[in-house]
Structure 1
Amino acid sequence: MRLDAHHIAAIKQLAVEQFGAGARVRLFGSRVDDAARGGDVDLLVELDTPVTEPGLASARFSVRVSRAMYGRKVDVVLAAPNLMRLPIHDVALRDGVLL
C-alpha cells in the first residue's frame, strides 16, 4: 500500500469528523499496488447510515483529503444504505485495503 502512516491517520480522522465514528475507509486502485507508480488516491467510505447530498459529501471529503495530501488527486466513492450499489463498490470491497 502506497500511503504513509501520517496520511492514513489523516484520512481516518477526516472521515470521522465528516461522517461520524462508524465510517470505514478503504483504499483501492493503483495505490494498493506497491509496484505501481503515481496515480490518484481512490477511497471507498462505508457508512451504516443514509447520506443526504452524497455528491456534496463525497466532494467535500475528497477536497479535505486532497489538502491533507498536498494536492494529490483523490476520488471518493460512498457506500450507504440509501445509495445504489455499483460495480465500483464490488471492486473496492474485493481489492481494497481497510485503513
Structure 2
Amino acid sequence: MRITPEQHRHITGILKKHFGQGSRIWLFGSRINDQAKGGDIDLYLEPEYQSAKDIVAARLAAMAELHQALGDQKIDLVINRHQGPRQPIYDIAKTSGIEL
C-alpha cells in the first residue's frame, strides 16, 4: 500500500468526520500496488449517512479538507449509498482494494 501512515490517518479521520464514524473506506487502484509509481489516490466509501443532501455536503467538505491535508494529490472518491443501480466499480474497489 503506497500511502504513508500519516496519509492513512488523515484519510480515515477526515472521511469519518464528514460521513460518519460508521463509514467504511477502501483504498484501491494503483496505490495498492507497492511496485507501481505515482497515481492518484482512489478511495471507495460506504458512508454511514445516507441522505443525498448530507452526502453532497459531506463530499464537498471532505474533499476540501483532504486536499489541504494531503497537498497537491489527485483524489478520486467513489461513494456507494446502496441506493440506485449497482455500479461495477463498487465490486472492483471492494474486492481488489484494501480497507483502511
Q: TM class, shorter-chain normalised? A: 0.7 to 0.9
How far does the alpha carbon of each residue in 1:25-78 deviate from its partner, in whole angstroms, 9 at most, with x for none? 100000000000000000001124413144554344333222211110000000
- The one-letter amino acid of 2:35's match is A
Which residue number in structure 1 is paired with residue 40 of structure 2?
40
Tell me the number of residue pairs that the alignment of Structure 1 and Structure 2 aligns. 99
Which residue number in structure 2 is paired with residue 65 of structure 1?
66
The alignment's TM-score, normalised by the length of structure 1, stands at 0.87
Counterparts of 2:61 and 2:95 in 1: how far apart (Å)? 25
Deviating above 3 A after TM superposition, structure 1's stretches of 4 or more consecutive aligned residues are: 53-60
**3-state secondary structure, aligned to 1:44:** strand
Counterparts of 2:39 and 2:91 in 1: how far apart (Å)? 20
* Counterparts of residues 58-97 of structure 1 (less than 5 Å): 58-97=59-98
Identity of aligned residues (%): 32
Q: Is this contact kept in 2: 1:11–1:65, CA < 8 A?
A: yes
Counterparts of 2:84 and 2:59 in 1: how far apart (Å)? 12
Counterparts of 1:83 and 1:68 in 2: how far apart (Å)? 32
Identify if the C-alpha distance between structure 1 residues 85 and 27 changes in structure 2 by more than 3 Å, giving closer, same or farther: same
Q: Cα RMSD (Å) of the superposition?
A: 1.7
